[in-house]
Amino acid sequence: MNHLQQAFSVRFEYNVFFTHKLFEPANPVFRDFLNGVSGEEAKKVFFVVDGGVAACHPDLPDQITNYFSDLPAFTLIREIMIAPGGESCKNTEQYFYEIVRAVDRFGIDRHSYIVAIGGGAVLDLVGYAAAVSHRGIRHIRIPTTVLSQNDSGVGVKNGINYLGKKNFLGSFVPPVAVFNDSFFLTTLSDADWRSGISEAVKVALIKDSAFFEWIKKNAGALASRDMEAMQYLIKRCAALHMEHIRGGDPFEMGSSRPLDFGHWSAHKLEQLSGFGIRHGEAVAMGIALDSAYSFLSGMLKEEDARDILSVLTALGFALTHPLMEIRDGESPILKGLNEFREHLGGRLTIMLLSAIGSGEETHELDTDILIRSVQWVSSFSSKH
């Protein structure tokens, strides 16, 4: 025998809780979770909070401190770290190293908890730092935006941007728990409220036509900040994402990334705009472009493509941007295709639509059809 063969599997399990005002003393959800995992020795808990959240909720540190007064099995690190919200916290290694240094300074071990409260970028940052410190510290996510509550916050990815590339450094490590607190949504700007809806449109288009019809019917309510409609959207979208992670390729070992429909151009658009365009806004434009391409390449009915763009418009999204222009094979946005392939390795794999609710993978995009697709979206946008 000239070799040894090893094979094993690792089970991951975590819950996503839906609640309101998580740190109110009368709310037992967070307390019950922690008490359910406590052991004989007191465990440390370190919080990192999104700067935007801290500004909108100045009483949050005191609320957290008061809440932990009833949790004797846990030692709260009183120094709460504030990280800037949005992509700025991921565009530099500064905040990553600040978290790592805090782990060292406060003696946070693998049985302790690092809790992130914020939007998707802060969750990505903190999750990555937790994943690599001591080779893995338990991480709790408390998403505070529509985008993070219905998509990134319930997934298994963490990371920061590096060398000008989105999520170039990162890890696949699930959180130990996710707490979606609807109260944080009440202080979002209109743009941030709307931005996260694009990910729900995305997952509906590739997986659930009935959900897309629901979004279409409720576009007005969602755009006007109806909380009941938004709560349904978040929960359904989160469930679809979790179903995909459970049944598919959660750590992206292959070259396929089905949940990234509309994302090859969106990621590049964010970078080209200096991250001035929100992720959800870029995804909406990416969905519009890839829906148009699906139609013009003969995969999708024209009426379905128009329906998709109409829903995005009703939700308040811009459908295109000058940086999305494609005039020839050297157009800057097209560099996103190779970066998309490079991020996974293997063949380029792009999700397109064969029908609303049905995605189909392809391995090449024709530049001439892409040029026509950009023009088609621009023409639709100018008329609507």
Asked if the model's pLDDT at residue 379 lies above 80, the reply is yes
Which CATH architecture group holds 190-383? Answer: Up-down Bundle (1.20)
Asked if the model's pLDDT at residue 309 lies above 70, the reply is yes
pLDDT digits (tens, 9 = 90+) for 190-249: 999 999 999 999 999 999 999 999 999 999 999 999 999 999 999 999 999 898 888 776
Tell me what pLDDT residue 207 has. 93
Please compute the mean of the pLDDT values over residues 128-137 and round it to a whole number: 96
Tell me what pLDDT residue 40 has. 65
Q: Say which residue the tokens 């070259």 belong to.
A: 255
Average pLDDT in the chain: 93
Please compute the mean of the pLDDT values over residues 308-327 and round it to a whole number: 97
Asked if the model's pLDDT at residue 55 lies above 50, the reply is yes
Confidence of residue 254 (pLDDT cuts 50, 70, 90): low
Asked if the model's pLDDT at residue 160 lies above 50, the reply is yes
Tell me what pLDDT residue 347 has. 78
Tell me what pLDDT residue 257 has. 67
Asked if the model's pLDDT at residue 39 lies above 70, the reply is no
- H or E element that contains 178: strand 177-181
Asked if the model's pLDDT at residue 313 lies above 90, the reply is yes
Asked if the model's pLDDT at residue 255 lies above 60, the reply is no
Asked if the model's pLDDT at residue 145 lies above 50, the reply is yes
Query: Residue 2 contacts by C-beta under 8 Å, 6 or more apart in sequence?
Result: none
Tell me what pLDDT residue 384 has. 84
Asked if the model's pLDDT at residue 28 lies above 60, the reply is yes
Please compute the mean of the pLDDT values over residues 146-153 and round it to a whole number: 92
pLDDT digits (tens, 9 = 90+) for 64-82: 999 999 898 899 999 999 9
Going from the C-alpha of 263 to that of each of 57, 160, 221, 246, 291, the distances in angstroms are: 32, 17, 26, 21, 12
Residue 181 three-state SS: strand
Tell me what pLDDT residue 340 has. 81
How far, in Å, CA of 285 to CA of 302, rounded?
18
Domain 15-187: give its CATH code: 3.40.50.1970
| For the chain, percent of residues with pLDDT exceeding 70 | 96
The dihedral built from the CA positions of residue 262, 289, 332 and 317, taken in this order, carries a sign that is: negative
Domain layout of the chain by residue ranges: 15-187, 190-383
Going from the C-alpha of 93 to that of each of 101, 106, 109, 168, 228, the distances in angstroms are: 12, 20, 22, 12, 38
pLDDT digits (tens, 9 = 90+) for 82-113: 999 998 999 999 999 999 999 999 999 999 99
Please compute the mean of the pLDDT values over residues 55-66 and round it to a whole number: 96
